[in-house]
Amino acid sequence: METAEIRRRWLAFFEKNGHTVVPSAPLIHDDPNLLFVNAGMVPFKPYFLGQETPLWDRATSVQKCVRTGDIEEVGKTSRHGTFFQMNGNFSFGDYFKEGAITLAWQLVTTSQAEGGYGLDADKIWPTVYEDDDEAFAIWRDTIGIPAERITRRGKLDNYWHMGVPGPGGPCSEIYLDRGPEYGLEGGPAVDEDRYLEFWNLVFMQEELSAVRAKDDFDISGPLPKRNIDTGMGLERMATLLQGVDNLYEIDEVYPVIARAAEMTGKSYGEHSGQSAGSSHPDDVRLRVVADHVRSALMLIGDGVTPGNEGRGYVLRRMLRRSVRSMRLLGYEDPCLPELLPVSLERMQNSYPELATGFDRIAQIAYAEEDAFRRTLAAGTTILDTAVARTKEAGGSTLAGEQAFALHDTYGFPIDLTLEMAAEQGLEVDRDGFTRLMREQRERARADAKGKKARHANTEVWRDLRAGGATDFRAYEELTSEATVIGLVVDGEPVQEIAPGQQGQVVLDRTPFYAESGGQIADEGIITADGVHLKVIDVQRPVKGLIAHTVEVVTGGLQTGTSVLAQVDPEWRLSACQAHSGTHVVHAALRQVLGPSALQSGSYNKPGYLRLDFAWGQALSAATRSEIEEVANLAVRRDLPVSATYMPLPKAREIGALALFGETYGEDVRVVEIGGEWSRELCGGTHVQHSSQVGALTLTGESSVGSGVRRVEAFVGMDALRHLARERAIVAELSGLVGARPDELTDRIGAMVARLKEAERELERVRKEAVAAAAGNLTEQARDVNGVTFLGHDAGDSGADDVRTMVMDLRGRLGNQGPVVVAITGAAKGRPVVVVATNEAARSRGIRAGELVRVAATTLGGGGGGKDDIAQGGGQDVAKVGEALSAVEWRVGELAG
């Protein structure tokens, strides 16, 4: 049974049993503690935490998930993977243990002909929490499983919680006995390879007041409503139903392995002689490729783009690990154009939107591979230099610090460093590298833990939210009469905010727009008798609740006070112009560049906007001009702007564009500008007609990552001010060069050409002077123990001039037996030294690299290079004479 069919049957079964089918949330989720959705219950977490009221009594989903904590272990075993899908069914105060167990049993044991999965009931082994007699009795008495096949296990295995205070409860896991060929007999407690877990039923029934560890927590009492959260691994079930050994061999993953094996000439799974529990390196690399290519496809599909931090770094790392693994398998040509379409062909059966957006996905992925191939070329040069210096110093091991710098700064993989160093006869200080990596991870964990601790204390906002949602009036009015229902200072609830304090004010209703969707929050004031507050920020700490960050200018504010909330009308107008202008620019981009130029992020504030979009190359000046013209023509046409609420499927049906990474409810707000000309899901504030955007001028275009470009623009009065500044600059330049504005390009171009020609002539004259000076210097050479030595201080000459002079002098003196030339210079106050030797000198053991280190050490710096020519530098210009003397002394010592 194909994975897509397993997924379809799951949703059909639970929908038939009264569950609402909830679409998978994007992998990017609005949770500061998570890089990605990492469990099927994450989108439902606000319901379990009591932050929001559930929309349904029963729900089911197949949720896309990514876990990256064990990314280094991917491929080494058959269990580790990054992207996976979690089938879940949820009950919010409806059915409980018996209902969850019975539904699970029906689905997995019903024959495939009747719509189930058709597992052999006699091979199913449940586990229950050690004290959960109720679940044990249901499995034994209601379902009919013999007691000897029901295993009781402790908190580490069969008790679930979120790792923070909140709901928790015992769980029951379902295993299938795969047979003696997979391991020992005796149940899940004996062998979890033979007995493979595929479903976990969590019975949320208790409120945890403190959580210290997985098996160390305090229970404060029962939950007001008992809930069910189950998770069945889709890949695990596919492994069982397709009769394969592991997740890498199912229909959604293995085709990439097969194609990669074909491209590299390798054979997967046919290697013998491996120790138990280990895999052949080729198999590991093929698994890495298959896993990471699929994960990258899904992540880019949900709007993640490669970058140097956070989600973008995880994606970049996956793509680069894929390319690196193919290289280690012997394939050095671009590989993603061959592999990504194979993954698409399998995954589009469940996620058809991948096919729709594949042009954008491929553009981003292929650009990242091209960038990494360039990184590999640059890293190879840096590695070669590090290896050469290590050898010159007589070492046999590349320092861990150098390997770490290659990995961390240049993205050069440690495996590649090990391989290439070994090819040149060096080992790598792997312990030092590992220590630095561990320190980096510990810093990251500490930072993440700190963020989690800060975020975890949401109780104050949950308590305020329990009193009802904020009546959001920002779309209808700029001024609202309201009542203060909560005050918060430094994260703690208070009854009054005093003059001079800063804190958060929660009102029963508000006209203020809370920051979201790329639009910053409104500014304005909140007033009452004798009270004046300046609103400096507006946020949603939990869904449905709006908190206003204020500075108390005069008076003191108490809870229960009636106030007048007033948005600054000029601020709002400019913000509306910018947000509507963002939609206009997005539509113009797609009209000029094509439908693959999809927005991947935006930011707008009064008078200014920026928009990130999928595109693989810089825009020409003509293209930018065309985009600007299309946008301004739309503004001039005075297109109507409207906002309509509709079900999400209807919005998708009419072609409304969604912002990647945003989570949308069942009903969404569709903002249209000129009907289908621009149709996007958006919760922001907008003008009523496109002409109200005013002037729109693009001010910049740049790269923000592989396959992603950014445009910036001013709108309204800010656009006019920008154009006025540019006009003033043009007028000033015209006056300086004595030309009309329309002549400026030609006039300045001619001036730049003449300047470059003059610079070239100066360079020619300078080189001639250097050569002439070098010719006179040969007379200063003297014999040092049979070696012709020439040392000279070239004053303020730069490194290039010094190097040219050294090589010229070595050539002039080359017929006088062993020759060493050492010259110093000091461009911009920083000393430089270059040393050169001829063949006769080197045959006597006199090497330039050693001599330049002698000089550079005297100068307070370092250096290195080859035996024939080397360069170094330092800090102390006053010691150049001393440095030359040190070189001469060392030459004499080596020659003697």
The verdict on whether residue 576 carries a ligand-binding annotation is no
Is 19 annotated as belonging to a binding site? no
Query: Which residue has tokens 């230099």?
Result: 385
With the CA atoms of 285, 287, 289 and 293 taken in that order, what torsion angle do they form, in degrees rounded to the nearest 10? -170
Q: CA-to-CA distance for 803 and 834, rounded, in angstroms?
A: 6
The neighbouring-strand residues paired with 221 are 207
Return contacts of 812-818, CB within 8 angstroms, 24+ apart. 812/774, 812/775, 812/778, 813/778, 813/781, 813/788, 813/838, 814/838, 816/781, 816/788, 817/786, 817/787, 817/788, 818/786, 818/787, 818/788, 818/843, 818/844, 818/846, 818/895
The SS3 of residue 169 is strand
682 annotated to bind ligand: yes
Burial class (CB in 10 A: 0-12, 13-18, 19+), 826: buried
Q: What is the Cα 481 distance to its own chain's centre?
A: 43
Q: Say if residues 307 and 600 touch (Cβ distance below 8 Å).
A: no
Secondary structure letter of residue 519 according to DSSP: B
Strand partners, 65: 84
- Read off the tokens for 293: 């290519």
In order, the DSSP letters of 60-104 are EEEEEEE--TTGGGBTTBSS--SEEEEEEEEEESS--HHHHHHHH
269 burial class (0-12, 13-18, 19+ CB within 10 angstroms)? Answer: middle
User: Which CA distances in Å does 551 have to 402, 493, 515, 530, 536?
Assistant: 50, 16, 18, 15, 7
DSSP letter for 818, please.
Answer: S
CA distance 82 to 68: 6
Spatial separation of the C-alpha atoms in residues 819 and 788, rounded to whole Å = 5
What is the b/e burial string over 765-798, where b = at least 16 CB atoms within 10 angstroms of the residue's CB?
eeeeebeebbeebeeebeebeebbbbbbbbeebe
Per the structure block, which two tokens stand in for 706? Answer: 């592989």
How far does Cα 627 stand from its chain's mean position?
Answer: 29
Q: What is the dihedral of CA 636, 640, 645, 649, to 10 degrees?
A: -70
Give the Cα separation of 398 and 414 in Å (integer). 12
Distances (CA, A) of 549 to 399, 534, 556, 569: 51, 8, 15, 19
Alpha-carbon dihedral sign for residues 839, 841, 845, 850: negative
375's enclosing H/E stretch is helix 358-392
Cα–chain center distance at 393: 39
Rg of the chain over CA atoms, in angstroms? 35
Q: How far apart are the first and last CA of the chain?
A: 83
Q: Got the DSSP string for 633-702?
A: HHHHTT-BEEEEEEEHHHHHHTT-B--TT----SEEEEEEETGGGEEEE--S---SBGGGG--EEEEEEE
Give 123's contacts (C-beta < 8 A, 6+ positions apart): 176, 177
Query: Is 335 marked within a binding site?
Result: no
User: Which DSSP string do the residues of 12-74 spell out, in sequence order?
Assistant: HHHHHTTPEE-PPPPSS-S-TT-SS--STTGGGHHHHTTSS--S-SEEEEEEEEE--TTGGGB
Residue numbering of the annotated binding site: 579, 583, 682, 686
Residue numbering of the annotated binding site for Zn(2+): 579, 583, 682, 686
